[in-house]
Amino acid sequence: MDSLLIYGSYGYTGRLIVREAVARGGSPVVAGRDGRAVAEQADRLGVEGRTFDLESSDLASHLSSFDAVLNCAGPFVETAKPLVAACLEAETDYLDITGEFPVFECLRQHDAVAREAEATLLPGVGFDVVPSDCLAAYLDEQLPEADQLRLGIKGGGGLSRGTARTLVEHLGDGGVVRRNGRLIQVPTAFRTREIDFGGGPEHAVTIPWGDVVTAAHSTGIESVEVYAAAPPWATRGLSAVDSLGWLLERRPAERLLKRLIDARVDGPDERELATGSAVVWGEVTDEATGRRACARLRTPNPYALTAEAAVTAAERVLDRGRQISNGFQTPASAFGSGFALKLEGTERELVTAPDRSDDPDESTQVAAESE
């Protein structure tokens, strides 16, 4: 993996990703804006380090000798644009681990220019959105005529500082759903429903996740909602974020929350990484016939999965034999719906297979599969 540059390599998730890449025998070049942190990491791991910030006017010249850049520096609303622009100039493939829907939408709009530059743009190669994107594509294969997709996430196993800061960055932005091909701004916690993540029905609430962009690209389904498991009291709290006029006081409150996060949030420790788990649930329906398919995907700790998924995705993009298409890609459009099952500890279960007879209420139960 000599021609991979990992930017934001010394952050919590960047470190996990670099560790995984090196453990596989790769020698990625580590990079970021803090020269001391880069040098310390590069020396410790015996790899090359590069220091530059994203305001640098000659950003493309830092990237032109690499086949691919894997961006781990978030919030990605701040880092993706300059790195993508530089990658397109340098004709270098771009990957990242964002989960932020505005970033996915922005990169999707760079599709044509990326094709012209013969570069691949592959955001979301972490827990957001590898399992949900692959599950969406799998469900679409089960019911190709489906026109509605709902996804649900139940995560466990700790939060990193960067994830918490990214959540704060987007607090007060409200929610988003996809309806008939358009991204629609909706209030925070706009809709609730019960979802069975495997242990019986649980309360879940809409969240503005990247799948509203990526799942539509992977499946062609143009109505998408994403939910997260959350107790009812949390739903009321999220709704209050809107009604308290958060927007008016946003910047000072954001600064305070970020200071608290920096002081108190440290990311999952080794035990949490080894023991945490998550479940992604998905359901597709065809409104006209009422046919429906539903499936679940179990994963290990989201950060452990992110490290493995990101390195596997980067290896595949660098593997010339695989010929990943140029332009905007999602994990499933690049590698197929089975990609998530290649990752350790994942297991998929088709809960409700669509009935092929004329009776839409008849459905069959199908057993779990993994690789």
Ligand X SMILES: NC(=O)c1ccc[n+]([C@@H]2O[C@H](COP(=O)([O-])OP(=O)(O)OC[C@H]3O[C@@H](n4cnc5c(N)ncnc54)[C@H](OP(=O)(O)O)[C@@H]3O)[C@@H](O)[C@H]2O)c1
Rg over alpha carbons for the chain, rounded to the nearest Å, is 20
Reading the block at residue 299, the tokens are: 């994963």
- Interface residues toward ligand X, by CB under 6 A: 8, 10-14, 32-34, 53-54, 72-76, 78-79, 97, 99, 126-128, 160-163, 166, 267, 302-303, 306
| Cβ 123 to ligand X shortest distance, Å | 9
Q: Burial level of 218, CB count in 10 A (0-12/13-18/19+)?
A: buried
| Cβ 206 to ligand X shortest distance, Å | 19
In the complex with ligand X, which residue's Cβ is closer, 53 or 118?
Answer: 53
In the complex with ligand X, which residue's Cβ is closer, 76 or 335?
Answer: 76
Give, in order, the Cα–Cα distances in Å from 309 to each of 7, 122, 358.
16, 12, 40
**Residue 326 region by backbone torsions, left for phi larger than 0, else alpha for psi between -120 and 50, else beta:** beta
Q: What angle do CA 148, 154, 155 make, to 5 degrees?
A: 135
The angle, 0 to 180 degrees and rounded to 10, between the axes of the packed helices 76-90 and 101-108 is: 20
| Cβ 14 to ligand X shortest distance, Å | 5
In the complex with ligand X, which residue's Cβ is closer, 12 or 335?
Answer: 12
In the complex with ligand X, which residue's Cβ is closer, 28 or 99?
Answer: 99
Query: CA-to-CA distance for 107 and 111, rounded, in angstroms?
Result: 7
| Cβ 309 to ligand X shortest distance, Å | 8
Reading the block at residue 74, the tokens are: 């978030």
| Cβ 285 to ligand X shortest distance, Å | 27
CA 156 to chain centre: 16
Q: What angle do CA 317, 139, 77 make, to 5 degrees?
A: 50
**Scanning the structure block, which residue is given the tokens 């530089």?**
86
| Cβ 128 to ligand X shortest distance, Å | 4
In the complex with ligand X, which residue's Cβ is closer, 127 or 197?
Answer: 127
Contact 192, 233 (CB under 8 A): no
In the complex with ligand X, which residue's Cβ is closer, 42 or 54?
Answer: 54
In the complex with ligand X, which residue's Cβ is closer, 152 or 354?
Answer: 152
Q: What number of other Cβ atoms are within 10 A of residue 247's Cβ?
A: 13
Q: Burial level of 243, CB count in 10 A (0-12/13-18/19+)?
A: exposed
* Residue nearest ligand X, CB atom distance: 162
Using alpha carbons, select from 11, 38, 68, 94 the residue that is nearest to residue 307. Answer: 11
In the complex with ligand X, which residue's Cβ is closer, 300 or 302?
Answer: 302
Query: CA-to-CA distance for 28 and 307, rounded, in angstroms?
Result: 14
In the complex with ligand X, which residue's Cβ is closer, 104 or 190?
Answer: 104
| Cβ 40 to ligand X shortest distance, Å | 12
| Cβ 122 to ligand X shortest distance, Å | 12
Q: Are strands 120-122 and 4-7 parallel, antiparallel or unpaired?
A: unpaired
| Cβ 113 to ligand X shortest distance, Å | 23
